[in-house]
């Protein structure tokens, strides 16, 4: 075991995990396009990669809360993830095979983050308000390293080599997971799980998860097609990687300074800001596709679109779900993420060629509006840690 303090070990795992995400998310659609898939197929494959969030998080959350072995699940999932990227060189290169691969990949991918978020919050215990942002920012740094390094590599090597890079990073994440023990403060195995329904009926919880769906639905064209959109506008892979990284740098800054917002404004006010700014973000992405500075500016809004919203989400889950419900609480957060992005990706892929990417992004900006109807379920007073 490495003798680092626990927050450094947690930070290291976030770094490797999000290096995978930073390698996969911006360039996977480019890989699929290189392999001969059309936009409708890419939209379907992107949605399949997210589809298992409808059920997988609950399976993993139930197992985690039932067994108490959260880190064991994380290790199994990272090992399987590495194996899956090896299999891509074995299976036939057709839609059905890649779809199956994405289904298996996302099933295990969904085991990692939701449970590791719970592990982190348990380990940080009473210092979670102080330390969570500092630990979590290393995931954002890992994303940036993945985006920049892979973007630069893809200038000199073919994008068909992407699965090899994913395999190597996943294996490093697997090795690092052994530095982290099960948190001693986490509940052990449970014979009978506490029911979730009484928690889900609370206005703050129900409203938040509905808002999350609309927010992530609007993110679908970004997560599935933003790289293709920029490529059509004749940006290089280095520029594409840089623009993805800008969003994550903004996210890191928000993680560092989120407490300034969280201690001065209510959740209702902050979530309203996140929604309005996100809608503005997608509209300007669609309206000015070829203007690098405008795309740069739009990416800085990721500080609110994801960074601040995620910090609020972690507080809502930890304050409303009991210690014995944390696995399933985190799983529900992942499920609503997947439901929003998957449904949006299918629709975006279906109409991308008919309407154009620019129009799709403007529609995504308008799709955020229904979420504003549910902000009144959130507290209008400042919430304590």
pLDDT confidence tier of residue 256, bands split at 50, 70 and 90: confident
Tens-place pLDDT, residues 57-95: 778 777 877 777 888 889 999 999 889 888 888 888 889
- Rg of the chain on CA atoms, in Å: 20
CB 20 within 8 A of CB 146: yes
State the Cα–Cα distance between residues 224 and 285, nearest whole angstrom: 14
90 within some domain = yes
349 within some domain = yes
pLDDT at residue number 114: 74
**Domain total of the chain:** 1
Q: In Å, what is the CA distance from 258 to each residue of 110, 254, 313, 337?
A: 26, 5, 12, 21
188 within some domain = no
Tens-place pLDDT, residues 136-190: 889 888 988 988 888 888 888 998 899 999 999 999 999 999 999 887 765 555 5
pLDDT at residue number 128: 76
pLDDT at residue number 1: 47
Give burial (CB, 10 Å; 0-12/13-18/19+) of 139: buried
| Centroid of chain to Cα 224 | 12
In the DSSP assignment, the letter for residue 88 is T
Mean pLDDT of 354-372: 95
76 within some domain = yes
pLDDT at residue number 319: 87
Place of tokens 């450094």: 8
Q: In Å, what is the CA distance from 48 to each residue of 43, 70, 97, 224, 334?
A: 9, 25, 12, 11, 15
Phi, psi (deg, nearest 5) at residue 234: 70, 30
pLDDT confidence tier of residue 131, bands split at 50, 70 and 90: confident
pLDDT at residue number 3: 52
Query: Which has the higher per-residue pLDDT, 371 or 6?
Result: 371
For residue 288, the domain's CATH number is 1.20.1250.20
Mean pLDDT of 287-294: 95
382 within some domain = no
The upper half-sphere exposure of residue 131, i.e. CA atoms within 13 Å in the direction of its Cβ, equals 17
361 within some domain = yes
359: tokens are 């129009």
255 within some domain = yes
State the Cα–Cα distance between residues 327 and 165, nearest whole angstrom: 30
**Residue span of the structural domain in which 95 resides:** 6-181+193-377
1 within some domain = no
Q: In Å, what is the CA distance from 167 to each residue of 82, 85, 253, 294, 360?
A: 5, 5, 29, 34, 33
Neighbours of 203 (CB within 10 A): 12
Of 207, 11, 14, 247, the closest CA to residue 112 belongs to 14
300: tokens are 């800085």
CB 343 within 8 A of CB 217: yes
State the Cα–Cα distance between residues 75 and 56, nearest whole angstrom: 16
Mean pLDDT, the chain, whole residue set = 87
pLDDT at residue number 384: 63
Tens-place pLDDT, residues 212-242: 999 999 999 998 889 889 999 999 888 988 9
Q: In Å, what is the CA distance from 221 to each residue of 148, 175, 290?
A: 21, 33, 17
Residue 276 region, left (φ>0) first, then alpha (ψ -120 to 50), else beta? Answer: alpha
CB 52 within 8 A of CB 338: yes
Query: Which has the higher per-residue pLDDT, 206 or 346?
Result: 206
Tens-place pLDDT, residues 294-345: 999 999 999 999 899 999 998 998 888 887 787 778 778 888 887 888 889 8
Of 43, 16, 18, 17, the closest CA to residue 29 belongs to 43
132: tokens are 């969570």
Q: In Å, what is the CA distance from 331 to each residue of 253, 317, 338, 385?
A: 26, 10, 10, 22
pLDDT at residue number 189: 57
pLDDT at residue number 57: 74
pLDDT at residue number 277: 97
pLDDT at residue number 295: 96
Length of the chain (residues)? 385
CB 315 within 8 A of CB 383: yes
Mean pLDDT of 197-222: 93
pLDDT at residue number 194: 74
CB 10 within 8 A of CB 176: no
């Amino acid at each position: 075991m490495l003798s680092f303090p626990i927050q450094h070990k947690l930070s290291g795992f976030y770094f490797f995990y999000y290096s995978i995400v930073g390698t996969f998310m911006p360039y996977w659609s480019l890989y699929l396009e290189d392999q001969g898939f059309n936009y409708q197929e890419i939209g379907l494959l992107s949605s399949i990669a997210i589809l298992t969030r409808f059920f997988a998080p609950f399976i993993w959350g139930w197992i985690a809360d039932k067994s108490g072995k959260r880190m064991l699940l994380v290790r199994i999932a990272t090992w399987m993830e590495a194996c899956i990227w090896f299999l891509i060189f074995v299976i036939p290169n057709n839609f059905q095979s890649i779809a199956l691969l994405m289904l298996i990949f996302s099933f295990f991918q969904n085991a990692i983050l939701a449970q590791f978020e719970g592990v982190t919050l348990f380990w940080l215990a009473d210092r979670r308000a102080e330390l969570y942002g500092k630990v979590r920012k290393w995931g954002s740094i890992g994303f940036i390293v993945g985006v920049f390094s892979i973007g630069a590599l893809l200038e000199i090597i073919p994008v068909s080599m992407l699965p090899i890079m994913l395999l190597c990073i996943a294996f490093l994440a697997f090795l690092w997971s052994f530095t982290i023990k099960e948190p001693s403060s986490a509940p052990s195995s449970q014979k009978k799980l506490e029911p979730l329904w009484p928690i889900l009926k609370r206005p703050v919880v129900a409203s938040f998860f509905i808002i999350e769906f609309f927010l992530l639905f609007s993110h679908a064209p970004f997560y599935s097609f933003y790289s293709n959109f920029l490529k059509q506008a004749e940006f290089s892979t280095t520029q594409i990687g840089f623009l993805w990284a800008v969003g994550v740098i903004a996210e890191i800054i928000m993680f560092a300074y989120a407490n300034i917002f969280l201690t001065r404004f209510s959740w209702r006010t902050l979530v309203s800001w996140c929604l309005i700014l996100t809608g503005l973000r997608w509209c300007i992405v669609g309206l000015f596709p070829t203007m690098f500075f405008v795309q740069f500016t739009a990416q800085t809004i990721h500080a609110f679109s994801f960074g601040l919203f995620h910090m609020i989400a972690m507080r809502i889950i930890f304050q409303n779900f009991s210690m014995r419900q944390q696995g399933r609480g985190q799983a529900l957060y992942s499920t609503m993420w997947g439901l929003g992005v998957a449904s949006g990706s299918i629709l975006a892929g279906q109409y991308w060629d008919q309407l154009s990417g620019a129009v799709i992004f403007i529609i995504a900006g308008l799709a955020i509006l229904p979420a504003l109807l549910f902000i009144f379920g959130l507290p209008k007073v400042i919430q304590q840690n």
